[in-house]
Structure 1
Amino acid sequence: MKEDHLDIKTPEYVAIQFQIAGLGSRAAAFIIDQVLLMLVNILIVVALFFVMDGIEQLPFFLTSSSFPIAVVVIGLFVLNWGYFFFFEFFSGGRTLGKKIVGIRVIQENGHSITLLSSFIRNLVRLIDSLPTAYFLGIVMIFFHSKHKRLGDLVAGTIVVHERKAKKKKKLTPIEKEINHRGLSENDLEIDEWSLKSFSSKDWKLISTYANRFNQLPLEERNQLTNQIADLLLPKSGIDVNGKNDTELENDLLVLYLILKDEWEFEL
């Protein structure tokens, strides 16, 4: 069977190709997510029994047995719906199941999924699950030319396989410099909220800095390092005060590696 692909052209007329995720890989990711959610749901229901057992000790306005049940029902709905919405937006279009399988949700133009598209996509998930066991969603994915369910059509999203960067036989100058310094993405801890604060302009700035790093005279490089560090590092929650030029360079190069994963294939 021929693999389905999505071809996108950048404004610079560079073609980027994505392999569209089919029913099998999407079903596998969904099953993993559902198993994880089921375990959490079971733990919550077990906790409810303990609450019900000790309900006589609750304040008088909470002694109605229907109150904790109503709270748990609402909580389970928010958990099961919010899980997909939260992970798909804050984890680059990947739930835990999608990460394991190696697929992700993106917009049709190749950009990362937005807050609105993630919200719409998962809101329509309620319809895709009808009449039972995601029957409508399965039928849509199977017959649609781009394997889209109704939520994807409404939100303008598509599920694709992760793009794996090809191993290069020859390292670029900045990659050699980073390897020489022994730097890696794990050298900085940046939470998802801080990561989302970086824009395409920030990526272009630090990408240009990294690509010109070895070409700049030392004095000019130190000056540029301090200027960019003052602009970008505070967004990562990193205090630049008291750091020397080498430490700032290392922080910026690690930040470059982190942002590269998010923005390298952005249009």
Structure 2
Amino acid sequence: MQQEKIDIKTPEYVSLQFQTAGLGSRAAAFLIDQALLMAFNIAVVLIVLFSLGSGFEVWMIRYAESYVLGFLIIGLFVVNWGYFFVYEFFSGGRTLGKKLLGIRVMQENGHSITLLSSLIRNLIRIIDMLPGFYFIGIVMVFFHKQHKRLGDLVAGTIVIHERKVKKGKKSTPLETEIKNRGVGKETLALGDWTIKSFSAKDWKLINTYAARFLQLPENEKTELTKQVAAILLTKAGVEWHTHTEAELENSLLALYLHLKEEWEFEM
């Protein structure tokens, strides 16, 4: 199915454009995740059987009335369901399969997926799998204009393609400046919760700052750096007023790298 682009107006009145992920890429990502989970399930079952020190038939007779089998089944269910729920939230809407396919889940208002929306969309996964082989989910994704399954509709989420980085692309002046300064995301250590607290409005601000960074006269850049730092570094929990001008610039450029990964998508 042909991929479609959608325009989203965020609560901060920032217009963003995304390319929705279709059935093919979503199915491929799901199969990769399922292969990983299947390998894990088989490994756990084998470890449990061998740890009991008896053959399968003997073990079934001996422990059929015990809690061992029940705990094993419940544990595997929690892990298999929790994999999508936890991985998507703490990895910015990406499972391993989604990362490899270059797609991610986000809220339909343009914000990163929240804990609640991740919980809801993955609970509804149970219905999307009915009556078997993910039938309801496949039909929904195929026919919905934004390729949403039932879980996406209820949770208010959408699956989109991420920005593709072209190999061999010449570095921009800003990228060269960042590299020469030795700035990376590690320059400003931020946790997942902190990164998720930044909105599209914050991304637009830091993106504008980065775009003008090399163009402004030194005195104007100094003033702008302090103004942006007061807003964004304070939000990041950084005591910005104790830093030198160079440290503030490097911290803001590092923040730009963090939010660029979170907010910049292929148009």
Do Structure 1 and Structure 2 share a fold, with TM-score over 0.5? yes
The answer to whether structure 1 residue 127 and structure 2 residue 130 are counterparts is: no
Partner of 1:80: 80
Distance (whole Å) between structure 2 residues aligned to residue 11 and residue 199 of structure 1: 9
Distance (whole Å) between structure 1 residues aligned to residue 21 and residue 106 of structure 2: 11
Q: Which amino acid aligns with 1:34?
A: Q
Partner of 1:142: 142
Partner of 2:29: 29
Counterparts in 2 of 1:42-191, with a 5 A limit? Answer: 42-53=42-53, 66-164=66-164, 171=172, 174-185=174-185, 187=187, 190-191=190-191
Partner of 2:59: none
Q: Structure 1: which 5+ runs fail to align?
A: 55-62
- TM-score norm. by structure 2 comes to 0.75
Deviation at 1:3, TM superposition (A): 3.2
Q: Which amino acid aligns with 1:231?
A: T
Deviation at 1:233, TM superposition (A): 5.8
> Do 1:225 and 1:245's aligned partners in 2 also have CA atoms closer than 8 Å?
no
Q: Structure 2: which 5+ runs fail to align?
A: 55-62
Distance 1:227 1:147, change over 3 A: closer
Distance (whole Å) between structure 2 residues aligned to residue 249 and residue 15 of structure 1: 27
Partner of 1:58: none
Distance 1:225 1:130, change over 3 A: closer
Q: Which amino acid aligns with 2:172?
A: L
- TM-score norm. by structure 1 comes to 0.75
Deviation at 1:152, TM superposition (A): 1.3
> Do 1:226 and 1:245's aligned partners in 2 also have CA atoms closer than 8 Å?
no
Counterparts in 2 of 1:246-257, with a 5 A limit? Answer: 246-247=246-247, 249-257=249-257
Q: Select the residue among 231, 234, 256 that pairs with 2:234.
A: 231
Q: Deviations over 1:104-135 (max 9, x none)?
A: 11222222222221111100000111122212
Distance 1:220 1:242, change over 3 A: closer
Report the secondary structure of 1:66's partner residue. Answer: coil
> Do 1:103 and 1:161's aligned partners in 2 also have CA atoms closer than 8 Å?
yes
Let me know the Cα RMSD of the aligned residues: 3.7
Q: Deviations over 1:36-68 (max 9, x none)?
A: 1111111211221134338xxxxxxxx996222
Distance (whole Å) between structure 2 residues aligned to residue 152 and residue 19 of structure 1: 16
Percent of paired sites with the same residue: 59
Distance (whole Å) between structure 2 residues aligned to residue 50 and residue 141 of structure 1: 42
Distance 1:229 1:105, change over 3 A: closer
Partner of 2:57: none
Distance 1:220 1:151, change over 3 A: closer
Report the secondary structure of 2:67's partner residue. Answer: helix
> Do 1:52 and 1:65's aligned partners in 2 also have CA atoms closer than 8 Å?
no
Q: Which amino acid aligns with 1:70?
A: G
> Do 1:213 and 1:221's aligned partners in 2 also have CA atoms closer than 8 Å?
no
Deviation at 1:234, TM superposition (A): 4.5
Q: Deviations over 1:208-251 (max 9, x none)?
A: 6545655343875886798679735646xxx9899765445434
Deviation at 1:253, TM superposition (A): 2.0
